[in-house]
Amino acid sequence: MTQRLHLVFGGELVDPQKNVFRDVADLHIVGMYPDYKSAYAAWKSEAQRTVDDAHMRYFIAHIHRLRDEETPASPTEELGI
């Protein structure tokens, strides 16, 4: 069975109209979740906790979409670049 991993993370944005973090080293990694439902619950909790700060934004990254083990790696990826 394929896992559908999701990463919930967030931080302070430079501008609330854009998705550029002020300090990437200061990102809040909420956690990795095995399904969208639990990731959404974690995201919602953090988003509601920081609702009064327009510069704080949380995201759900669909980690399972980043890598398909059935697809051959690109030559660049094979070199580790």
Render pLDDT for 14-55 as a digit per residue (tens, 0 to 9): 999 999 999 999 999 999 999 999 999 999 999 999 999 999
pTM score, whole prediction: 0.77
Backbone angles phi, psi at 59, to 5 degrees: -135, 155
Domain chopping of the chain, boundaries: 6-79
pLDDT of 81 reads 47
pLDDT above 60: residue 10: yes
Sheet strands side by side (includes 6-12)? 28-33, 6-12, 56-62
- The residue ranking higher by pLDDT, 35 or 68, is 35
CATH number belonging to domain 6-79: 3.30.70.2400
